[in-house]
Amino acid sequence: MAEKPQAAGDLGSFRLKRLLKDARYVDDRQGIAADKAEDALLWDLVAEVARETRVPAPEALVLVPDAEISVAKAAEGGFALYIGVPLALALPAVELKAVVAHALAVMREPHPELAAGLVRAREAAQVRADLWVSQAPRLSRHFQQVLDDSAGFHADIERHADRAAATVAGSRERALVAMVRAQAIAEHFAEYAGCYVLGAADVAPDLFTDWLNVAAQPVPDWASNSLPLPNLATRTAFHPGLRTSGGSLNRARQAVNPLVPASGEPVVAGFADDVSDALASFIEVDRGADYSIGYAEAGEAVLAGAGRLLGRDATPADVVDLVADDRGAELAVAWFELLAAELEAGKASGFVTERIQRAAMEPASTLGEALQVFLIAVAVRHGYRFDAVLHPGELMADGGEPIKTYAVISEAVAGDTARLAQLVAQLAEGA
């Protein structure tokens, strides 16, 4: 007689249900069943992972628009694996296998559907606890209590899941890269999708393809917000079973720039157009929210910061001179202080909210980010456009080639402002 599996954290069904209730968990995922013929490669990968990790293969695969992989009860009975299309399109096969293996670890539990629900509920509770810690302390404490009450469960599940991921990836460090990349993709896509859907209301965007094109671009070191170490990765509970050394997380972060690697083919090259369009339609966007992100407005604050340092109205050339005179750090601090003052005065643009409020005013923004928005402000003054969604790092004008800014800014941050001065002059001449 087969031995009954031991519940993670010694939690039985009653306690699991109670924790799900406390976490106010609602499973509201929308998706489309993966076709066994058209999506055979994906079905085969999942079946292979199930065999390697010795868990039951899911009876159904459901494609969902957001970058997640999780288990739930299938409508027709048994269990379904929900696979986010961004992960299926962006992850190399071996990394997708690792993330799938990690998700399938709950299939070893006596109550897989409840365990899977609690995994998702914990993720949501952590986000809410962090979000409301200063704005609504009582709500934050409620969700922190959920996290505390399920800590033993989480430790057990993570240990089993990390081991499964490392098994199929071939090493713990390769599995950690997969988990960091998956989380970074989830955060990047969540931010990207809403902006693009709102910004292209009169166009039918090829959302997943366009996002892949952006995610495949390397991001410079100074662009601290463009390719973040995933928020969850800063916590000690982020896949502790995969950290082989103190530097393993940093190496994993470096490995996920760009998000979509140049080498390593994904399992599938794409999904049917009708499936992609339907999935894109599932993405909910608050059309009253400010997704404009005031890059040009934030860039004008760089000029104001330069004026504060010089004691007079500053020109774009003055900004270049300050950086050339090794005063770039002072300029970045002055810029940051002006943005913080705008936030306190209630005049914050989307950029200010994104960069400062979310980071709780720390750390101060980098010189690279200041120069990026500075160039955008100068360009907009002289008839150029900036599309942060589809063309990050580029300034565009009708009838001309886009101007790429990343390399220029990287050189200026390193102390060589020659090309920055030329670009500022070029933008002014294009008026």
DSSP-assigned beta bridge partners for residue 64: 84
Alpha helices, DSSP H, located in 105-171:
112-132, 137-149, 151-169
Residue 333 has pLDDT above 70, yes or no: yes
Higher pLDDT, 288 or 64: 64
The Cα 8–Cα 18 span in angstroms is 15
Q: Residue 69: helix, strand or coil by DSSP? A: strand
- For residues 354-360, give the mean pLDDT: 46
Q: Which of 19, 22, 25 is nearest to 7 (CA)?
A: 19
Structure token pair of residue 166: 């490392």
Identify whether the C-beta of residue 184 lies closer than 8 Å to the C-beta of residue 61.
Answer: no
DSSP state of 99: H
Neighbours of 302 (CB within 10 A): 30
Q: How confident is the model at residue 292 (pLDDT cuts 50, 70, 90)?
A: low
- For residues 42-56, give the mean pLDDT: 94
Identify whether the C-beta of residue 146 lies closer than 8 Å to the C-beta of residue 42.
Answer: no
| 319 φ, ψ (degrees, to nearest 5) | -60, -45
Residue 2 has pLDDT above 60, yes or no: no
pLDDT the model gives residue 129: 72
Residues 6+ apart with CB under 8 A from 428: 316, 378, 382
Name residue, tokens 């709780």: 360
Structure token pair of residue 208: 């997943």
Q: How confident is the model at residue 344 (pLDDT cuts 50, 70, 90)?
A: low
pLDDT the model gives residue 291: 57
pLDDT the model gives residue 287: 64
The Cα 39–Cα 42 span in angstroms is 5
Question: Most confidently modeled of 125-129, 202-206, 304-308?
Answer: 304-308
The Cα 76–Cα 83 span in angstroms is 18
Residue 232 has pLDDT above 70, yes or no: no
Q: How confident is the model at residue 236 (pLDDT cuts 50, 70, 90)?
A: low
Q: Residue 30: helix, strand or coil by DSSP? A: coil
Residue 112 has pLDDT above 90, yes or no: no
Region of 24 please: left (phi>0), alpha (psi -120 to 50) or beta: left
Higher pLDDT, 2 or 322: 322
Name residue, tokens 């090829």: 206
Three-state SS annotation for 64-88: ECCCCEEEEECCCCCEEEEEEHHHH
Residue 174 has pLDDT above 50, yes or no: yes
- For residues 313-332, give the mean pLDDT: 95
Q: Residue 359: helix, strand or coil by DSSP? A: coil
- For residues 275-303, give the mean pLDDT: 78
Higher pLDDT, 414 or 107: 414
Region of 240 please: left (phi>0), alpha (psi -120 to 50) or beta: alpha
pLDDT the model gives residue 378: 94
Q: How confident is the model at residue 316 (pLDDT cuts 50, 70, 90)?
A: very high
Residue 31 has pLDDT above 80, yes or no: yes
pLDDT the model gives residue 229: 46
Q: How confident is the model at residue 4 (pLDDT cuts 50, 70, 90)?
A: low
Residue 1 has pLDDT above 60, yes or no: no
The Cα 382–Cα 52 span in angstroms is 59
- For residues 210-222, give the mean pLDDT: 85
Higher pLDDT, 175 or 205: 175
pLDDT digits (tens, 9 = 90+) for 64-98: 998 989 888 877 778 889 999 999 999 999 999 99
Q: How confident is the model at residue 317 (pLDDT cuts 50, 70, 90)?
A: very high
Least confident of 73-82, 188-197, 198-207, 257-266: 198-207
8, burial (CB in 10 Å: exposed 0-12, middle 13-18, buried 19+): buried
345, burial (CB in 10 Å: exposed 0-12, middle 13-18, buried 19+): exposed
Q: Determine what percent of the chain is predicted with pLDDT higher than 90.
A: 31
Question: Most confidently modeled of 13-22, 178-187, 241-250?
Answer: 178-187
pLDDT the model gives residue 167: 94
Q: Residue 60: helix, strand or coil by DSSP? A: strand
Identify whether the C-beta of residue 52 lies closer than 8 Å to the C-beta of residue 168.
Answer: yes
Name residue, tokens 């969604």: 389
pLDDT the model gives residue 288: 62
DSSP assignment of 255-313 equals: HTSSSS-SSS-BS-S---HHHHHHHHHT----TTS-----HHHHHHHHHHHHHHHHTS-
Structure token pair of residue 100: 């799938």
Q: How confident is the model at residue 358 (pLDDT cuts 50, 70, 90)?
A: very low
The Cα 163–Cα 159 span in angstroms is 6
pLDDT the model gives residue 154: 76
pLDDT the model gives residue 264: 76
For the chain, what is the mean pLDDT?
80
